[in-house]
């Protein structure tokens, strides 16, 4: 009798364990599918606008607004480079988010709506890339805010090539490592050249840590950049594109420079803030941490409180192992 009782107890325990396993599985699945605001979802881009890579929303979840990226149509009045569709990106004041780890755009003076090809990374070899980009006629260069409209980023590392809007216009920035001596920038198109029309970007690169690497850029079929040397310092590289704004407080501090002066006259300033103020006056600009400190101290004095909206269009975003696989260059 005792033996039967023990067997029944053990059977009941095993049944309870199995039920707990099933319940735990359901909870985990629900978190992944429903409750996890950071779940990575591949964005289905039409072949009309993109091919060769899989993209997902960068810093996703509730932080990514519906207007952040949209597939738009020619018949609705939107600019299109080829075919009938293009990709429209928009970043408004306050469009900052964070990722599942420790990174936060909001805390690091940044805003963005980007698409990331992190799941279509490359390790080595030669590749071709292309895209066409359109800046509306009313587009404003928001320097000293730095607008990045595309980048080749390393997994667990820094971006190696970034396409930025710097003071003089659309530029390429190279940072193979995070060392200062590896930083290099070159203007590709002036501010006036990019407004109200499409321009085509073609890239041919070889991803490698060795000296036989290269990175070439053509703009409207004209060779604008011809770098030879290492093209990465980590193992994996992936593409991102969209709008990525860095230095939000730099812009707001700079356009409110007179009110910053009034703020310091009333509240005083630390040696660090004094140096930052002098750099703003000389248009050299302080680092992000100093700029954020100044903004927090003086924002109540500022008359201009928001950064203007940025809107751009992309089309023909292509990747291939040969030139005939990319863009309008087929």
Cα 284 to chain centroid distance, Å, stands at 24
Categorize the per-residue pLDDT at 12 as very low, low, confident or very high, splitting at 50, 70 and 90: low
Say how many domains are in the chain: 2
Residue 60 lies in a domain: yes
Output the average pLDDT for the chain.
Answer: 88
Give per-residue pLDDT as tens, 94-128: 999 887 677 889 889 999 999 999 878 899 999 99
Task: Based on the fold, state whether residues 153 and 295 are members of the same structural domain.
Answer: no
Q: CA 76, CA 72: separation in Å to the nearest integer?
A: 8
Residue 30 has pLDDT above 50, yes or no: no
Task: Based on the fold, state whether residues 196 and 285 are members of the same structural domain.
Answer: no
Identify the pLDDT of residue 35: 41
Contacts for 83-87 with beta carbons within 8 Å, 24 or more apart?
83/48, 83/49, 83/315, 84/48, 85/46, 85/48, 85/49, 85/315, 86/49, 86/134, 86/313, 86/314, 86/315, 87/45, 87/49, 87/50, 87/313, 87/314, 87/315, 87/317
Residue 38 has pLDDT above 80, yes or no: no
Task: Based on the fold, state whether residues 176 and 79 are members of the same structural domain.
Answer: yes
Tokens of 281: 């006056």
Residue 37 lies in a domain: no
Average pLDDT on 124-152 reads 96
Q: What are the Cα distances from residue 287, in Å, to 97, 213, 236, 284?
A: 21, 32, 29, 10
Residue 3 lies in a domain: no
H or E stretch at 132 = strand 125-134
Identify the pLDDT of residue 8: 61
Task: Based on the fold, state whether residues 323 and 175 are members of the same structural domain.
Answer: yes
Which residue range forms the structural domain that includes residue 278? 257-301
Categorize the per-residue pLDDT at 200 as very low, low, confident or very high, splitting at 50, 70 and 90: very high
Give per-residue pLDDT as tens, 251-301: 999 999 999 999 999 999 999 999 999 999 998 899 999 999 999 999 999
Residue 314 has pLDDT above 80, yes or no: yes
Task: Based on the fold, state whether residues 184 and 297 are members of the same structural domain.
Answer: no
Residue 22 lies in a domain: no
Taking each continuous run of H as one helix and of E as one strand, the counts in the chain are 5, 16
Identify the pLDDT of residue 289: 94
pTM of the model: 0.85
Identify the pLDDT of residue 75: 96
Residue 214 has pLDDT above 70, yes or no: yes
Q: Which residue has the higher pLDDT, 285 or 1?
A: 285
Tokens of 7: 């067997």
Task: Based on the fold, state whether residues 226 and 111 are members of the same structural domain.
Answer: yes
Instruction: Give 208's contacts (C-beta < 8 A, 6+ positions apart).
Output: 124, 230, 231, 232
Q: H helices of 125-284, where?
A: 248-255, 257-267, 271-281
User: Which of 72-86, 98-112, 132-146, 290-304 comes out lowest in average pLDDT?
Assistant: 98-112
Instruction: Give 123's contacts (C-beta < 8 A, 6+ positions apart).
Output: 207, 235, 236, 237
């Amino acid at each position: 009798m005792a033996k039967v009782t023990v067997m029944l107890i053990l059977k009941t325990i095993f049944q309870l364990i199995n039920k707990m396993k099933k319940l735990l599985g359901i909870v985990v699945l629900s978190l992944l599918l429903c409750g996890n605001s950071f779940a990575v979802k591949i964005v289905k881009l039409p072949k009309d606008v993109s091919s060769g890579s899989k993209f997902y929303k960068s810093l996703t979840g509730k932080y990514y607004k519906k207007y952040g990226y949209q597939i738009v149509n020619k018949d609705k009045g939107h600019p299109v480079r080829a075919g009938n569709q293009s990709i429209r990106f928009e970043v408004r004041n306050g469009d900052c988010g964070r990722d599942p780890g420790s990174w936060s755009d909001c805390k690091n003076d940044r805003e963005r709506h980007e698409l990331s090809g992190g799941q279509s990374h490359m390790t080595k070899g030669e590749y071709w890339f292309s895209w066409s980009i359109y800046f509306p006629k009313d587009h404003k260069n928001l320097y000293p805010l730095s607008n990045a409209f595309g980048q080749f980023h390393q997994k667990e590392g820094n971006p190696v090539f970034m396409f930025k809007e710097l003071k003089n216009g659309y530029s390429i920035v190279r940072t193979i490592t995070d060392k200062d001596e590896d930083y290099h920038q070159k203007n590709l198109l002036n501010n006036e050249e990019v407004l109200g029309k499409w321009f085509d970007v073609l890239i041919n690169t070889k991803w490698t840590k060795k000296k036989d690497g290269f990175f070439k850029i053509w703009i409207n079929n004209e060779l604008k950049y011809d770098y030879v040397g290492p093209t990465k310092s980590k193992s994996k590289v992936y593409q991102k594109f969209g709008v990525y704004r860095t230095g939000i407080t730099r812009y707001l501090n700079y356009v409110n420079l007179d009110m910053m002066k009034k703020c310091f006259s009333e509240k005083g300033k630390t040696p660090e803030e004094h140096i930052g103020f002098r750099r703003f006056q000389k248009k050299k600009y302080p680092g992000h941490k100093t700029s954020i400190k100044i903004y927090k101290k003086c924002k109540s004095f500022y008359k201009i409180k928001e950064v203007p909206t940025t809107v751009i269009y992309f089309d023909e975003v292509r990747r291939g192992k040969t030139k005939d696989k990319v863009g309008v260059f087929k």
